[in-house]
Structure 1
Amino acid sequence: MNTSAYDILIVGGGAAGFFAAINAAEFNPKLRIAILERGKEVLQKVKISGGGRCNVTHAEFLPKELSKKYPRGEKELIGPFHNFMTGDSIAWFAEKGIELKTEEDGRMFPVTDDSQTIIDCFTKSCRRLGIEILTKTSLQNLQQEEEGWKLKTSQGNFSAKKLLLATGSNSRIWQLLEKLGYDMVEAVPSLFTFNIQDDRIDGLAGVAREAEVRVQQTKLQSSEPLLITHWGMSGPAILKLSAWGARELHRLKYQFQIEVNWIPGMEADGMLEKLKELKIAHSRQFVPSRPQFDLSKRLWQKLVSAANIPEKTNWADLNKNQLQSLAEELTASVFQVNGKSTFKEEFVTAGGIDLKQVNFKTFESKIHPNLFFAGEILNIDAITGGFNFQNAWTGGFLAAKAMAKN
Structure 2
Amino acid sequence: MDIAIVGGGAAGFMAAITARRTNPSCKVTIFERAQKVLAKVEVTGGGRCNLTNSFAAISDLKQAYPRGYKLMKRLMMTFNHEDAYRWFEEHGVPLVTQDDDCVFPKAQDSHAVIDCLVQQAADLGVMVCCKSRLMDIRSMQDGRLELIFDNGTQRIFHRAIITTGGSPKGNNLQYLARLGHKIVPPIPSLFTFSIRDKAFCNLMGTVVDPVVMTIPGTKFRSKGALLVTHWGMSGPATLKLSSHAARMLAEQDYKSPIAISWTGERSRQEVEENILAMQIANPRKQLATLHPFGLPSRLWVYILSKLGLEAAKPWAEIGRKTFNRMIETLVNDQYTIMGKSAFREEFVTCGGVSLESINSKTLESKVCPNLFFAGEVLDIDAITGGFNLQAAWTTGFIAGSCVAE
Secondary structure of 1:276's match? helix
Counterpart position of 1:189: 188
Aligned match of 1:163 in 160, 163, 181? 160
Give me the whole-angstrom Cα distance separating, in 1, the residues matched to 2:124 and 2:330. Answer: 59
Is residue 2:34 matched to residue 1:7?
no
Counterpart position of 1:124: 119
Give me the whole-angstrom Cα distance separating, in 2, the residues matched to 1:63 and 1:149. Answer: 40
Give me the whole-angstrom Cα distance separating, in 1, the residues matched to 2:58 and 2:329. Answer: 40
Aligned CA RMSD, in angstroms, stands at 1.8
Contact kept? 2:159, 2:403, Cα under 8 Å: yes
Count of residues in Structure 1 that have an aligned counterpart in Structure 2: 400
Task: Summarize the Cα distance change of 1:173–1:202 in structure 2 as closer, same or farther, 3 Å threshold.
Answer: closer
How far apart are residue 293 of structure 1 and its match? 1.9
Counterpart position of 1:41: 36
Kindly report which structure 2 residues correspond to 1:278-293, keeping only aligned pairs within 5 A, or say none.
Answer: 278-293=278-293
Contact kept? 1:12, 1:37, Cα under 8 Å: yes
Q: Which moved more, 1:59-68 or 1:207-216?
A: 59-68
How far apart are residue 273 of structure 1 and its match? 4.5
Task: Summarize the Cα distance change of 1:158–1:233 in structure 2 as closer, same or farther, 3 Å threshold.
Answer: same
> Structure 1: any 5+ residue segments left out of the alignment?
1-5
Give me the whole-angstrom Cα distance separating, in 1, the residues matched to 2:256 and 2:47. Answer: 32
Secondary structure of 2:108's match? coil
Task: Summarize the Cα distance change of 1:192–1:91 in structure 2 as closer, same or farther, 3 Å threshold.
Answer: same
Counterpart position of 1:3: none
Aligned match of 2:18 in 11, 20, 23? 23
Give the TM-score of the pair, scaled to structure 1: 0.94
Secondary structure of 2:344's match? coil
Contact kept? 1:93, 1:99, Cα under 8 Å: yes
> Structure 2: any 5+ residue segments left out of the alignment?
none
Counterpart position of 2:144: 148
Is residue 2:106 matched to residue 1:111?
yes
Contact kept? 2:255, 2:337, Cα under 8 Å: yes
Give me the whole-angstrom Cα distance separating, in 2, the residues matched to 1:44 and 1:202. Answer: 32
Task: Summarize the Cα distance change of 1:270–1:121 in structure 2 as closer, same or farther, 3 Å threshold.
Answer: closer
Give me the whole-angstrom Cα distance separating, in 2, the residues matched to 1:28 and 1:61. Answer: 34
How far apart are residue 52 of structure 1 and its match? 0.7
Contact kept? 2:56, 2:101, Cα under 8 Å: no
Task: Summarize the Cα distance change of 1:63–1:307 in structure 2 as closer, same or farther, 3 Å threshold.
Answer: closer
Counterpart position of 1:83: 78
Task: Summarize the Cα distance change of 1:224–1:63 in structure 2 as closer, same or farther, 3 Å threshold.
Answer: closer
How far apart are residue 133 of structure 1 and its match? 0.5
Secondary structure of 1:250's match? helix
How far apart are residue 311 of structure 1 and its match? 2.7
Give me the whole-angstrom Cα distance separating, in 1, the residues matched to 2:343 and 2:363. Answer: 29
Contact kept? 2:222, 2:241, Cα under 8 Å: yes
Give me the whole-angstrom Cα distance separating, in 2, the residues matched to 1:202 and 1:11. Answer: 43
Output one character per residue of 1:186-208: Cα deviation in whole Å (capped at 9) or x when no partner: 01110111111325533322222
Give me the whole-angstrom Cα distance separating, in 2, the residues matched to 1:96 and 1:386. Answer: 19
Query: Could you tell me which amino acid in structure 2 is paired with residue 40 of structure 1?
Result: Q
Secondary structure of 1:293's match? helix
How far apart are residue 247 of structure 1 and its match? 0.1
Task: Summarize the Cα distance change of 1:307–1:384 in structure 2 as closer, same or farther, 3 Å threshold.
Answer: same
Task: Summarize the Cα distance change of 1:65–1:324 in structure 2 as closer, same or farther, 3 Å threshold.
Answer: closer
Give me the whole-angstrom Cα distance separating, in 2, the residues matched to 1:64 and 1:32. Answer: 40
Is residue 2:392 matched to residue 1:403?
no
Contact kept? 2:182, 2:356, Cα under 8 Å: no
Give me the whole-angstrom Cα distance separating, in 1, the residues matched to 2:23 and 2:54. Answer: 30
Secondary structure of 1:393's match? helix
Task: Summarize the Cα distance change of 1:349–1:31 in structure 2 as closer, same or farther, 3 Å threshold.
Answer: same
Secondary structure of 2:214's match? strand
Give me the whole-angstrom Cα distance separating, in 1, the residues matched to 2:336 and 2:59. Answer: 35
How far apart are residue 296 of structure 1 and its match? 1.4
Output one character per residue of 1:316-341: Cα deviation in whole Å (capped at 9) or x when no partner: 11122221221122111101111111
Counterpart position of 1:206: 205
Secondary structure of 1:224's match? strand
Identity fraction in percent? 39
Give me the whole-angstrom Cα distance separating, in 2, the residues matched to 1:109 and 1:267. Answer: 35
Contact kept? 1:24, 1:401, Cα under 8 Å: yes
Counterpart position of 2:392: 392
Task: Summarize the Cα distance change of 1:13–1:198 in structure 2 as closer, same or farther, 3 Å threshold.
Answer: same
Give me the whole-angstrom Cα distance separating, in 2, the residues matched to 1:84 and 1:206. Answer: 39
How far apart are residue 232 of structure 1 and its match? 1.1
Give me the whole-angstrom Cα distance separating, in 1, the residues matched to 2:14 and 2:273. Answer: 57
Is residue 2:314 matched to residue 1:300?
no
Query: Could you tell me which amino acid in structure 2 is paired with residue 44 of structure 1?
Result: A
Output one character per residue of 1:333-375: Cα deviation in whole Å (capped at 9) or x when no partner: 1011111111233210010111111112111112222110000
Give me the whole-angstrom Cα distance separating, in 2, the residues matched to 1:172 and 1:258. Answer: 32
Give me the whole-angstrom Cα distance separating, in 1, the residues matched to 2:292 and 2:64. Answer: 34
Contact kept? 2:291, 2:300, Cα under 8 Å: yes
Give the TM-score of the pair, scaled to structure 2: 0.94
Secondary structure of 1:345's match? helix
Query: Could you tell me which amino acid in structure 2 is paired with residue 218 of structure 1?
Result: T
Secondary structure of 2:294's match? coil
Give me the whole-angstrom Cα distance separating, in 1, the residues matched to 2:385 and 2:43. Answer: 14
Query: Could you tell me which amino acid in structure 1 is paired with residue 41 of structure 2?
Result: V
How far apart are residue 280 of structure 1 and its match? 2.4
How far apart are residue 270 of structure 1 and its match? 5.0
Counterpart position of 2:49: 54
Query: Could you tell me which amino acid in structure 2 is paired with residue 159 of structure 1?
Result: I
How far apart are residue 268 of structure 1 and its match? 4.4
Secondary structure of 1:89's match? helix
Task: Summarize the Cα distance change of 1:8–1:204 in structure 2 as closer, same or farther, 3 Å threshold.
Answer: same
